[in-house]
Amino acid sequence: MGTIRVTNIQVYAFHGCLTEEEKIGSDYRVDVAVKANLQPSAHSDELKDTVDYVHINRIVKEEMAIRSKLLEHVAKRMLDRIFAEVPIAMEATVEVSKINPPIGGNVEQVTIEMTLSR
């Protein structure tokens, strides 16, 4: 078993419950970790035998482009796609962080983390 991590994917998106968030948008950071058996790719040296991090990045960008009120909803969609499109994924963790959230205080970011296993 091994882990492929794609960290600090930076995206501008329009998630949130407030009307202003839908219009103005915000900066987000997404981190993804996918656990899988990496021994076949370690031996074969073939992309088809591993977790393609370009594919993971594309999933993140596509799902972040679909507006949601809750970050949990976005993360769940990402996890569902990872398991549907990456057959060797055994476990995945997605962290979605909203940078400078509009919560009436000086807060650097809020983060939700979700993990799903086969």
Give burial (CB, 10 Å; 0-12/13-18/19+) of 46. exposed
CB 33 within 8 A of CB 3: yes
Q: What are phi and psi of 92, to 5 degrees?
A: -140, 145
What residues does 110 pair with on adjacent strands? Answer: 98
**98 is a catalytic site residue:** yes
Q: Which of these is catalytic: 35, 69, 76, 98?
A: 98
Active-site amino acid positions: 98
